[in-house]
Amino acid sequence: MGNYRFILSGGGTGGHIYPAIAIANELKRRFPEADFLFVGAKDRMEMEKVPQAGYKIEGLWITGLQRKLTLKNLMFPFKLISSLLKSRKIVSQFKPDVVIGTGGFASGPLLQVASGRAIPCVLQEQNSYAGITNKLLKDKVAKICVAYDGMERFFPVSKIVKTGNPVREDLVNTEVTGPEAKTFFQLDPKKEVVLVLGGSLGARRINELIEKELEYFASKDLQVVWQCGKLYFEQYKNHAKEDVKVFDFLDKMDLAYAAADYIISRSGASSVSELCIVGKPTLFIPSPNVAEDHQTKNAVALVTQNAALMLRETELDERFETVFSDLHQSRDKQEELGANLKNEAMPNATKHIVDEIEKLLGTLDT
């Protein structure tokens, strides 16, 4: 009892990696003697982030299909065969009790092999629009943990469990106050802060917007914490000054959220789940460059609950100042959006997902 073996597979983006790490951490807390192995895609960010979190990882030679005819697409069949063969070897050698897939290309071959050997498999789908890998695996797995209603459009209803998305533990348990967090960022604790989040690599269109609107924010007596991303830091770092802090990456997200009075963000699944827990007035600017436009669908799901605002990239030049000014001038609107967003939070998601894994192990009553 307790010497279980778990494989977790997913990656390509932080939205697939960090939920997998959160699930592994909770499994490790419950089963300290368990063995863990992650499987990701070679040359993607999981090969760095997973070892940093203290877990072993194996890489598969796999990428997704491009939307147009490219050399990468011609290589896809060879990469798929290679990944299936390596997945067979991994499963044979590691002998997992349960395999957990959190989305991304690498989880496809691994869960295909594991399910074919009658090993119980769990999918975790973060988005309101299911990813292609998870849709392909839907009939082969035992349980599918989701964060949104209406997912029976994609998955067998008998397998769906609404758990929410795993989030960083420090966000759920934080006790830091706004003034303390503002002081940490060397900001005036009495003035309001706009937190700008474009993802770990950065969002070009959001960065262009913020650069253009810095004088507007100053005219409103607003301070800015601007995470511009690693790809853009050299380009924008010179905008840093007393009331504008520019970062390539924010390690202390609990402090960043605590410092914020308003948040401007992409609407990837992990960001949305974190922002629901934070519960502050949020303007989503979805990336239009993602599969099935799922970021827009994630944001719309909250906008329809009057829990957030949304602007498409094409609307920013024309409407940003009007929309933000309306929010800035209305304390009632700020409180309403924040409260409604918090109502959408599922802070115990990781525990609920691991409960489902325990049921498959037979250690938890169904």
Kindly list the domain boundaries of the chain, sorted by start residue.
5-167+347-361, 170-343
Is 200 annotated to bind ligand?
A: yes
Residue 338 assigned ligand-binding role: no
CATH code at 5-167+347-361 = 3.40.50.2000
Q: What is the pLDDT of residue 115?
A: 94
The structure's pTM equals 0.84
- 88 is an annotated ligand-binding site residue: no
Residue 15 marked ligand-binding: yes
CA 33 to chain CA mean position, Å: 28
Distance, CA of 287 to CA of 202 (rounded, Å):
11
Q: Do domains 5-167+347-361 and 170-343 have the same CATH topology?
A: yes
Nearest Cα to Cα of residue 115 among 365, 353, 360: 360
- Please check if 29 is assigned to a binding site: no
Superfamily (CATH H level) for 170-343: Glycogen Phosphorylase B; (3.40.50.2000)
Burial class (CB in 10 A: 0-12, 13-18, 19+), 241: exposed
Phi, psi of 34, deg, nearest 5: -70, 155
| Residue 261, pLDDT score | 98
Alpha carbon distance 60, 67 (integer Å): 21
What pLDDT is recorded for position 262?
Answer: 98
Per-residue pLDDT 10s for the chain (366 aa) are 568 999 999 877 777 888 999 999 999 999 999 999 999 888 788 888 899 999 999 988 776 555 555 566 666 666 777 777 888 999 999 999 999 999 887 888 999 999 999 999 999 998 888 888 899 999 999 999 999 888 999 999 999 999 999 987 777 777 889 999 999 999 999 999 999 998 777 899 999 999 999 999 999 999 999 999 988 999 999 999 999 999 998 888 999 999 999 999 999 888 999 999 999 999 999 999 887 788 999 999 999 999 999 999 999 999 999 999 999 999 999 999 999 999 999 989 999 999 999 999 987 655
Nearest CA to 39 out of 112, 141, 107, 135 is that of 107
Alpha-carbon distance of 258 to 135, in angstroms, equals 36
| 127 annotated as ligand-binding | yes
Q: Is 5 annotated as a binding residue?
A: no
